[in-house]
A and B are shown apart, each in its own frame.
Chain A
Amino acid sequence: MLNFVLRRLGQSALTLVVMSLLVFAGVYAIGNPVDILINPQADQAEIARTIAQLGLDRPLWQQYWIFLRGAFGGDFGVSFVANVPAITLILERLPATLELAFVAMLIAIALGIPLGLLAGLKLDSWIGRGIMAGSILGFSLPTFWVGLMLIMVFSVQLGWLPTTGRGATVDVFGIPVSFLTWDGLRHLALPATNLALFELSLLLRLTRAGTREAMLQDYVRYARAKGVAEHNVVRVHVLRNILIPVITIAGLELGSLIAFAVVTETIFAWPGMGKLLIDSINMLDRPVIVAYLLVIVFLFILINLLVDLCYAALDPRVRLKGSR
């Protein structure tokens, strides 16, 4: 296990280095860093000063070194618009995005697994077919359009739920969260549902496929022959076996939810870092874009690493395969 952890950590570190090189290349080699990192409204003297400060007059490898040092120290430059360090802006917005993603994942798991199980057990009945048809729709509907339709129905027509913002928040360990207040929950309902829809369809299909396969296995037949009640066969024998891969995928998909939150946050004006990214792109606030990029890359590598480690802890075959 230790061997696996060390090798996996090494891979993550390597990925981080490669990604930092790519981001560096994107900002410094393809684009003109003077345009990207210096406020276009600055005057000549200020531009010259910033160029010297950022080391843009030095050779490329030295610039990369400075960039790396800045990135690891959390120094990504100052936002042109807000005039505060870019990283501060992003870290302020991070909890809102994470809350949205976690709640969406919770909805997807809470609905996707039972529905998938039901569809897998009742393959050819109208329930099974109906659930599958719904999941095709869930896959095909573009997230942003569903968001608009949710607003149209639940906010404009019915007037039940608010369309924008986070609502009232409560501080938990100094981090503001929405899900503990009624107002916050009302604000959370639409964006979280919107974000959950695709993931729900995915988990549903995975659970259905897993159930279908597991029901044909010998252990299910033996359990039945032993006289185990059908609901216990499903709960103890089938569900246990399909949960490992489904939960692993759910973990990996957390990153994808954070990425898709960009769309949902923009529609519902949810003050997370995805909306910050779009605002920054529209206002050409490039230090924030670069900072977002590095933070999200780091977050992704972290999620992939954690999921892999959990998987290895749960399934010995993964560890053994790697150490051959």
Chain B
Amino acid sequence: MNAALSPARELTAGYARDRIALSALWVLCALLLAALAAPWITPQDPYDLAQLDILDARLAPGEASSAGYTYWLGSDGQGRDMLSAILHGLRISLGVGVLSTLAALALGLAVGLAAARASGWIDALIMRIVDLQLSFPSILVALILLALTGQGVDKIIIALVIVQWAYYARTVRAAALVELHREYVDAAVCAGYGGARILFRHVLPNVLPPLTVVATVQVAHAIALEATLSFLGLGLPITEPSLGLLIANGYAYLLAGQYWISFFPGIALLVTIVAINLVGDRLKDVLNPRLK
């Protein structure tokens, strides 16, 4: 390892040494850009009914519409361009995944730090709640929450946050307990700093890096979970079609051999999840000092 390199440069160089992970990062960037720019780059606004023609319904990939426009990935039951629908769906899926993960991360950080700092019975109580929740699979918890609350973007984000926070809380608490016994914390105490300042200015920055890796991979989990719930008809409403909902809509046509309505959104979902997982895996290796 070249000592002259700055930590950031070193990290980038370490990451780039794995070519698969590097291409995964490029794919992920491309997907993010496409999702962000979806309203401007898609050939059709898939939810503007004025632009849809029922005569174009269920066209196979590559067929041209009555207006002379080519449906590269085919069209769905309402004559909607699948490519446009997928990019819009990706936008919703990524948005829900990232937002819920960030919120869960913030909540888990707060609770985990509080537990580590408080110790005693408060710590024990919080950790029992975490244990209890983690003993049930996330899909079940989310399913039941949504069965009780009903559909909606806000509700699915709340459900995804509730499903994920406990995991972060446990990780943060374990890491913070280690940090709190380090010498720099003793030094900070001797310097007369208050508990909150030590926790947020000294312990938090040391706990955060490994957590960001966990969070990266969790975004993929959140996206997959949201897609599953939406597929089951419990996640997002029909007005906010994520990739999961697009796949569900194509289910009926699948049995008639019109595979593309379910197949392409699934591929988009798969590529997104695999790319995030590969990037997360590589980050874990690069940031792990023991593997250097």
Contact = CB atoms under 8 A, between A and B. Distances in A.
Interface of A: 15, 18-19, 26-27, 30-31, 136-137, 139-145, 148-149, 151-152, 155-156, 163, 255-256, 259-260, 262-263, 266-267, 277-278, 281-282, 289, 293, 296-297, 300, 304
Interface of B: 132, 135-137, 139-140, 143-144, 147-148, 220, 224, 227-228, 231-234, 244, 247, 251, 254-255, 257, 259, 262-263, 266, 269-270, 273-274, 277-278
Contacts of B269: 142, 145
- Chain B facing A: main interface SS: helix
Given A142-B269, A293-B144, A148 B274 contact: no
A263 B139 contact: yes
B235 to A, nearest CB: 12
Given A148-B247, A151-B255, A152-B263, 10 more contacts: A18-B132, A140-B273, A142-B266, A142-B270, A144-B227, A145-B262, A145-B269, A156-B257, A300-B136, A304-B135
Given A137-B274, A278-B233, A142 B148 contact: no
Given A136-B274, A148-B251, A143 B228 contact: yes
A296 B136 CA distance: 10
A256 B137 contact: yes
A300 B141 CA distance: 12
Given A136-B277, A140-B273, A143-B228, A149 B266 contact: yes
A144 B228 contact: yes
Contact of B137 (A141, A260, A266): A260
B192 to A, nearest CB: 38
A145 to B, nearest CB: 4
A156 B262 CA distance: 14
A9 to B, nearest CB: 16
Contact of A262 (B143, B224, B227, B254): B143
19 contacts: A136-B277, A140-B273, A140-B274, A142-B224, A142-B228, A142-B269, A143-B228, A145-B247, A148-B251, A148-B254, A148-B266, A255-B137, A259-B143, A260-B139, A262-B143, A267-B251, A278-B232, A278-B233, A296-B140
A193 B135 CA distance: 25
Contacts of B231: 144, 263
B148 A144 contact: no
A155 B251 CA distance: 13
A300 B137 CA distance: 10
A155 B255 CA distance: 8
Contacts of B266: 142, 145, 148-149
Contact of B233 (A259, A282, A296, A304): A282
Contacts of B147: 277, 281, 289
Contacts of A163: 255
A26 B148 contact: yes
B228 A263 contact: yes
A140 B277 contact: yes
Contacts of B254: 148, 151-152, 156
A137 B267 CA distance: 12
Given A140-B274, A149-B266, A266 B232 contact: yes
Contact of B139 (A152, A262, A281): A262
A142 B139 contact: no
Contacts of A263: 139, 228, 231-232
A201 B147 CA distance: 30
A112 B220 CA distance: 23
B120 to A, nearest CB: 19
Contacts of B227: 142, 144-145
A126 to B, nearest CB: 15
B262 A148 contact: yes
